[in-house]
Amino acid sequence: MTTMEVVHDMGLGINLGNTFEATAGSLSGGVRSYETSWGSPEITQEIIQGYKNEGFGVLRVPVAWSNMMEADYTIYPEYLSRVHEVVRWALDAGLYVILNIHWDGG
């Protein structure tokens, strides 16, 4: 596929904003409490499948890693696993995924 063919194949996109890039969160309440700290719902496989069912072809997943890492820059495994889970659901639903660093470090 050419680049233009990929872009055409992507179709409409939807943004999973305010979920994995909250800038004042912590894991004190677990990954799910960080995920919902800016008012977004906890992302489920049903939500992701619903996006596909409504005709979306690409999901943007903005992530702030800097809030979820140790002093040695190791990302918290629980957080990394959760982001991976949501991305996997999107790929399994047949969506393209744009995973990008957003708000990392302020």
Task: Read off the pTM.
Answer: 0.90
Average predicted confidence (pLDDT) for the chain: 90
User: 47-86, pLDDT tens digit by residue?
Assistant: 999 999 999 999 999 998 888 888 999 999 999 999 999 9
More confident residue, 99 or 17: 99
State residue 45's pLDDT score: 98
Stronger pLDDT, 101 or 57, i.e. the higher one: 57
CB-side exposure of 90: number of CA atoms within 13 Å? 24
Contacts by residues 6-11 (CB-CB < 8 Å, ≥ 24 positions apart): 6/96, 9/57, 9/96, 10/57, 10/58, 10/96, 11/55, 11/56, 11/57, 11/58
